[in-house]
Structure 1
């Protein structure tokens, strides 16, 4: 029997990440009702063929046949739900790059400003940082081609390329009268999905921005480094999942496993009962039982919600912030052959260890903390959530829309972060808190607490 190899994605964003998944095709004997349904399907396909041929012959301009087929496939998939879609060959390649979390490039985070590429930050120990490229540098030319007129994606595509190849950049830098010409050699660049620091001298803060193939490795390194730096004075961990759109299912499982000794992490359930899969933790809590607080908000979606839900259900962490996005479905990436792109198809719902489906509902934090949003941003800081998406998978009558997603750029104004820090230091007490001064906290989470 032939085996069908597919790839699974778990993210609220369209270009997220993937992991291997193998299924066996089912065999069946076709009854009369099945034959009737098949006959009706073929009639519909004949209708499609008639329309396709009429467009090819009668449209006012000669259409591109391949574009017609791609548009038809896209329409079929987008009509299913907000997360099913067709990816052409380039989109599929881009998604694979994002999934791997590494590529041949220069090592600069960039944005577009006034039609030019602006450097947000050079990544440490990359060709860009070694060449002295600085934040706020403006890139005007790539290999003598003007950046003006290119989209950001087009500019990024030109900066990426095979490892060992060269590219020339012309840079305008504030304080310099003349442009700077720099020649860089592309190298292997790893996207940093995990960043960490010491908070308040004795708290380990770890921010996870996405779930790609580098995430668990980055998390383990951060935990190890912070433990070495803090030693016995380590109070606990703050895991920041705010505005993390998701990514790899496998990485969500292994990140959750890092904080758990045992028990189910997540189950995925497809259309047929035999497709149900359960993932469980392995012995060994890398944080050695230290208190854990997870920060969530309206931008925490999918894989982020798996981690938050698993740690909340096992009472291993206290969740602080606002309700998560509510994206509780799994997408499988199905390659369509060489040069034909791939399907991104919703194939299952996922459930937290207690059996909760967060689809269109989200995960409610143990302690809700609302940020003070500047007046000019108040209309743009809430995410509408999964339940607001047209054609989303339904989940009962108590679906939720709208949740705050603003994170203050200055940590001094971050009320959720301050609440987490206060709880770990015992400055504030809450039934959900894993504070050393409140050991009952891990046993019984509260529904909500005022800030």
Structure 2
């Protein structure tokens, strides 16, 4: 899962040296700072365990049924140490680190699927918009049990993700277990170069609709362009904005802060609290609202995670937007990318984040102000509609404007029904924006 990431250029040298030295049978005369600060008992126990690791390493090297590669063994050990901490900490080898860097820039290769590990299976957090995973119909909450027929149970998340990588235009078969389905089923996807346009916009009559699919380095600038486009298309009649964060798995912390700041004039946006609470960081909004105070609805669902939850939580706590949809994923932790020698890195959970009101949403998520489950509604056939004009002997309105009013009503009804059939939550959000706008203060002439 992309999660919420901070970028950092430091790396820890001595502790890694200690592990590698002991693992390869070398003698290390200088203790790492972490060990030096420990109590004598703790330090001795730590060295005993590190020596145990070195002994196990030598036994595997000399007695395993097949010859093993030192680099693979040590990297697997490092990754095992990190993944045992939580589902979001991991080791990034050279390929994974490079892919992560490309991902945050907005382009990468693969299936376009954000995943985590749960109960021994790979769990889909969300498919990314307009990618092979989204086109194949994968849904948040799906479990991937097999990859090309190979069971996933027993593998680490990184191993499973590595199996899903491959050359562009090659096929992969995933076995999916989905809630509500009686049996697992197979889905075949074709790997592709994933180019993420993290922000897209569309005028919904008199309401601006902006969908943010991921928080990468282009997100805030994309949001600025989207709002400008909406103002150009709709003009001064724009009644408000719908910001769609559904199935947005997160991304960069600084972009989540910038997007929140775009609509807030003042106040705290988010705070991050590491183990040492003295290093708590608070991020505050600066004056200026790109939407100029227009009513806003933010759509979320169980695929909205991490950076998405920061934005939704900040706008909710400041009562700047109405949050609508279903409860979000509930990932309230921050991962810091720690580059290491050799163009590798650690993704390490270093802090929890809190909304402006001081709430941690870890495991809880953002609870919408208005709960609206996704649903499909049946279209009302024209033959079933009745009005005064359908009654026998009804008085006729001779006003010439009636035909224009009738035509406008029919157009609006058709557009509303089309949106409702395709996306019920969005239809409700558009209705609410227009309702709020009816009672908003009007500028005095």
| TM-score normalized by the length of structure 1 | 0.64
Q: Give the equivalent residue in structure 1 for 2:224.
A: 220
Q: Map 1:181-192 to 2 at 5 A.
A: 191-192=196-197
Change (3 A) 1:325 1:373: farther
Q: Give the equivalent residue in structure 1 for 2:151.
A: none
1:58 and 2:58 matched: no
Q: Give the equivalent residue in structure 1 for 2:421.
A: 412
Change (3 A) 1:35 1:267: same
Q: Give the equivalent residue in structure 2 for 1:111.
A: 132
Q: Map 1:218-257 to 2 at 5 A.
A: 218-257=222-261
Tell me the SS of whatever aligns to 1:37: helix
Given that 1:17 and 1:212 are in contact with CA atoms closer than 8 Å, whether structure 2 keeps it comes out as: no
Tell me the SS of whatever aligns to 2:167: helix
Residue by residue over 1:259-310, the C-alpha shift from the partner in whole angstroms, topping out at 9 and shown as x without a partner, is: 1111110000000022210111111100000001000000000000000000
1:154 and 2:166 matched: yes
Tell me the SS of whatever aligns to 1:320: strand
Q: Give the equivalent residue in structure 1 for 2:89.
A: 84
Given that 1:111 and 1:152 are in contact with CA atoms closer than 8 Å, whether structure 2 keeps it comes out as: no
Question: d(CA) in 1 for partners of 2:164 and 2:307?
Answer: 27
Q: Give the equivalent residue in structure 1 for 2:353.
A: 350
Q: Which runs of 5+ in 2 are unaligned?
A: 13-32, 110-128, 138-162, 171-192, 378-417
Question: d(CA) in 1 for partners of 2:437 and 2:367?
Answer: 24
Given that 1:331 and 1:347 are in contact with CA atoms closer than 8 Å, whether structure 2 keeps it comes out as: yes
Matched residues, number: 317
Structure 2 counterpart of 1:97, from 99, 102, 111: 102
Q: Give the equivalent residue in structure 2 for 1:300.
A: 304
Residue by residue over 1:298-336, the C-alpha shift from the partner in whole angstroms, topping out at 9 and shown as x without a partner, is: 000000000000000000000000000000000011111
How big is the shift at 1:35?
2.6
Change (3 A) 1:357 1:17: closer
Q: Give the equivalent residue in structure 2 for 1:283.
A: 287
Question: d(CA) in 2 for partners of 1:286 and 1:315?
Answer: 16
Q: Give the equivalent residue in structure 2 for 1:263.
A: 267
Question: d(CA) in 2 for partners of 1:20 and 1:348?
Answer: 13
Q: Give the equivalent residue in structure 1 for 2:373.
A: 370
Change (3 A) 1:424 1:112: closer
Change (3 A) 1:228 1:208: same
Structure 2 counterpart of 1:73, from 74, 78, 89: 78
Tell me the SS of whatever aligns to 2:246: coil
Given that 1:245 and 1:299 are in contact with CA atoms closer than 8 Å, whether structure 2 keeps it comes out as: yes
Instruction: Provide the aligned C-alpha RMSD in A.
Output: 3.3
Structure 1 counterpart of 2:51, from 35, 39, 46: 46
Q: Give the equivalent residue in structure 2 for 1:198.
A: 203
Given that 2:242 and 2:296 are in contact with CA atoms closer than 8 Å, whether structure 1 keeps it comes out as: yes
Q: Map 1:171-186 to 2 at 5 A.
A: none
Which has more helix, going by share of residues? 2
| TM-score normalized by the length of structure 2 | 0.65
